[in-house]
Amino acid sequence: MVRVDGLNQGGALIEVRSLDKTYQRGSEEIHVLQGLNLDVDEGDFVAFMGPSGSGKTTLLNLLGGLDLPSAGSIVVAGDEITSMSGHKLASWRARHVGFIFQMYNLIPVLTAYQNVELPLLLTTLSKAERRRHVETALAVVDLADRMHHYPRQLSGGQEQRVAIARAVVTDPTFLLCDEPTGDLDRASAEGILDLIHQLVDKYGKTVLMVTHDPRAAERAGVILHLEKGVLVECQQCGRSGGMS
């Protein structure tokens, strides 16, 4: 269940409290996020919508430990990530977060197999174990037969599937998707959304997705609207949820 009032008393997978993010541009302070509260339970599929500059991607970056907030806290599975050092945060990301980008961001000189294996290089798994994990992840995204292809030999939809396999291969605590269908045609986008939905429904993954596409957002269980760094609307929220 997703709550945005900050009144949840623990138990959520992701707990965001009074989150602020401010950038300094010259003498001007830009408040990208302001006092944001959010609780996301395990297995939730949340979509963030809003106009450009509303703070969606910034929120995703903060939740993924890619950036630090100006104020407030983020607790994920009991770990307070806003106070972690850079090195610890990198380890935490490797263990807990799967990222899916709009532009796939695969490494062009590596095959699909090698791209998916990348996060596993940071683990203590043996080569055989890594192979088993990679093959499983590629099978989940239905690309087992393309594992030795390079990104340039794949279509956009297939590249995004490889990116999804890379995101899930370590079995992370949650997935962060930044416009995962933004660079795809309608048919490919539907396929990717089906796949993400499958990860939630079949494998119980928690997914937080930023999108401009209302049809993509509708696939989520909850849609949160951001405007000027503030959550202004929550569709299909849990019964006890409400605007903070």
Partner 1 sequence: MRFFPFIVANLFRKKTRTVLTVGSFAAALFLFALLATIDTTFTGGVEVAGADRLIVLNKTSIIQPLPISYRDRILQIPDVKHLTYAVWFGGMYQHERNFIPIMAVDTEGFRSMYTEFAIPQEQWEAFVRDREGCIVGRSTVNKYGWTLGDRIPIKGTIYPGSWEFNLRGIYDGTRAEDDTTQFWFQYPYLDERKEFFKGVVGWYVVRVVSPDADARVAAAIDERFANSAFETATESEKSFAAGFVKQVGNIRLIIVSIGSVVLFTLLLVTGSTMAMSVRERTGEFAVLKTLGFSDLTVMFLVLAESLMYAVPGACIGLTLAKIFTLQGDPTGGLLPFFYLDPERMLAGFVLALAAGIAAGIIPALLAMRLRIVEALRRV
Binding residues for partner 1, per CB under 8 A? 61, 64, 66-67, 86-87, 90-95, 97, 99, 101, 103, 105, 107-110, 114, 118-119, 121-122, 127, 166
Least separation in angstroms between CB 138 and partner 1: 17
When the beta carbons of 64 and 241 are compared against partner 1, the nearer one is: 64
63 in Cβ contact with 14 (< 8 Å) = yes
Shortest Cβ distance from residue 125 to partner 1 (Å)?
10
According to the 3-state scheme, what is the secondary structure of 119-158?
HHHHCCCCHHHHHHHHHHHHHHCCCHHHCCCCHHHCCHHH
> Could you tell me the smallest distance in angstroms from the CB atom of residue 94 to partner 1?
2
Q: Name residue, tokens 């962060």.
A: 176
Q: How far apart are CA 150 and CA 109, in angstroms?
A: 7
Q: State in angstroms the smallest separation of the CB of 237 from partner 1.
A: 28
Query: Of 61, 95, 73, 67, which is closest to residue 12 (Cα–Cα)?
Result: 73
Q: Residue 75 or residue 118: which is nearer to partner 1 going by CB?
A: 118
Query: Closest approach of Cβ 43 to partner 1, in Å?
Result: 23
Of the two residues 65 and 241, which places its CB atom closer to partner 1 in the complex? 65
Torsion sign, CA atoms 81, 217, 173, 103? negative
Q: Which is nearer to partner 1, 25 or 239 (CB)?
A: 25
Q: Which is nearer to partner 1, 2 or 33 (CB)?
A: 33
Dist. CA 207–CA 218, nearest whole Å:
14
**CA 22-25-27 angle, 5° bins:** 100
